Amino acid sequence: MKTKMCAALAAAALTCAMTLPLAAQETPTAKIKRVQMKEQKEHHPEIAAAMNHLREAKANLEHAAHDFGGHRANALKHVNEALEECRLALEYDKK
């Protein structure tokens, strides 16, 4: 049960990391939302939520009982990279 949960969390973290570039693609609706957000003190609840989920996934992966043939370590690496990308996205938006 614990193994399945860790695998599911790792998959969710990887999915988040892999879909961030898709979320960054701009559509007309996204452009309107972005303009509205600039008028509203630059809150980014989606990125904040993604970062919270990634931190939770990281903690779960760090406390996993097994290494799963190196896949746990690989997933941790990708989660850390995704967290850094989110941080950079927030930093970029401040400019």
Distance CA 93, CA 95 (A): 5
Positive or negative CA dihedral for 43, 77, 12, 61? negative
From first to last of its 95 residues, what are the pLDDT tens digits of the chain? 666 666 666 666 666 666 655 555 556 666 666 666 555 556 889 999 999 999 999 999 999 999 899 999 999 999 999 999 999 999 888 76
Which run of H or of E encompasses 45? Answer: helix 45-62
pTM above 0.75, yes or no: no
15 is in which domain, residue-wise? 2-94
CB 69 within 8 A of CB 7: no
pLDDT at site 54:
97
